[in-house]
Amino acid sequence: MKSNPPSTIRHPKFAFTLVELLVVITIIGILIALLLPAVQAAREAARQVQCKNNLKQFALAALNHEQVTGHLPSGGWGPMWGGDPDMGFDPKKQPGGFIFNCLPFMEQQALHDLGLNNNRAGRSRTAAMPISMLNCPSRRPAILYPFVAHGQQTPINYDLSTINNLVGRTDYAGNCGDNAQVMQYNASPPFNTSCGIPNGTCAGMAWTPQYWAGLSNGADAATGVIYLHSWLTLSQITDGTSYTYLLGEKYLNPDSYYNGADGADDQEWNMGIDYDIVRWTGVSQGWSLGPAPPYQDQEGMTMWWNFGSAHSNGCMMALCDGSVQLIAYTIDPYVHKNLGNRKDGQTIDGKKF
């Protein structure tokens, strides 16, 4: 009997050597390292678009406010007062700041009205409401933060104990002008602590023009758009609405994003004027008035005056015409300063910002 001849078919066995495996792992690691920055850049680009849209909606709300009421949203009375819906939009009666006054024009009427009928608890709940439109997604989420208020009195017309001293904050600030040494509440209006409003409407209506500018030397010293007791129309922006800041991102120390340790970010968004809700483009330097340029947020560095942001390439600023521009940190500091002054008569080249 013949036996079958041995098969000539071979089934070779392949396997990776250790060197080949290491090469593959290295290549995958390089590809991931190349891909991650692109993914991060795409995410940051999306966050910047959202931030720009926040400011756009905010600017449109302010302009709608001007159309309906005849003036831009007021800066309010100071950090001791929160918004009061019973007082309407008249800056002589309304203690709340410009963010509170914009609420009905940014689809937040219900939030604006929580404190109606002298409801202190309702006004407290307003302060304790985070609003996504008020926070830059590159910096921090719209959540509750501790109310710290370094060196400031607690609010008069609402009760923080009812909200466990937790409040909403904003990453955006109004343009208060180009002189940060023109402080915003150098005189306190008369008030009745039992109700938290001035001693009668007539007392409020009798305040002098100097008081309404919040300045000892009168309204001419207020160069911005949103300042203490501001009552400004677009026609009073004589440098042009396309060449004057309305509001923008405020500088913050990243170490204090969440804890309220920064004295310019320790309170809430619905109060009257304070460093938390306004910034400047200039500051007194000795005997002269110098620029206060925008800065990228830097750990360990605290500045109460400046605009700035968490973005690496600049901060978003809304102009009084409703447009929003990315202002590079490398902008000429004096161009930035002039953009904060609504009436200095300086000619600004639009290509420089």
Nearest to 179 by CA among 280, 93, 84: 280
* pLDDT reported for residue 145: 96
- Paired strand residues for 267: none
208: pLDDT strictly greater than 60: no
- Going by pLDDT thresholds of 50, 70 and 90, the confidence category of residue 215 is very low
* pLDDT reported for residue 181: 64
Percent of the chain with pLDDT over 70: 82
- Going by pLDDT thresholds of 50, 70 and 90, the confidence category of residue 218 is very low
349: pLDDT strictly greater than 60: yes
pLDDT tens-place string over residues 235-260: 999 999 999 999 999 999 999 999 99
State pTM to two decimals: 0.84
**Beta strands in 97-170, from DSSP E residues, in sequence order:** 145-146, 166-167
pLDDT tens-place string over residues 154-190: 778 888 888 888 999 999 999 999 987 655 444 445 4
At residue 174, the 3 state secondary structure works out as strand
Rounded Cα distance, 289 and 287, in Å: 7
Nearest to 275 by CA among 290, 289, 292, 288: 292
- Identify whether the C-beta of residue 241 lies closer than 8 Å to the C-beta of residue 101: no
279: pLDDT strictly greater than 90: yes
pLDDT tens-place string over residues 100-112: 999 999 999 999 9
CB atoms within 10 A of CB 274: 25
- Sheet containing 278-279: give its strands across: 278-279, 172-175, 245-249, 315-319, 324-327
* pLDDT reported for residue 153: 64
Element (H, E) at 289: strand 288-291
Q: Which amino acid is at 257?
A: Y
Percent of the chain with pLDDT over 90: 57
* pLDDT reported for residue 31: 80
* pLDDT reported for residue 28: 83
The arithmetic mean of pLDDT across residues 53-76, rounded, is 96
CB atoms within 10 A of CB 235: 8
212: pLDDT strictly greater than 60: no
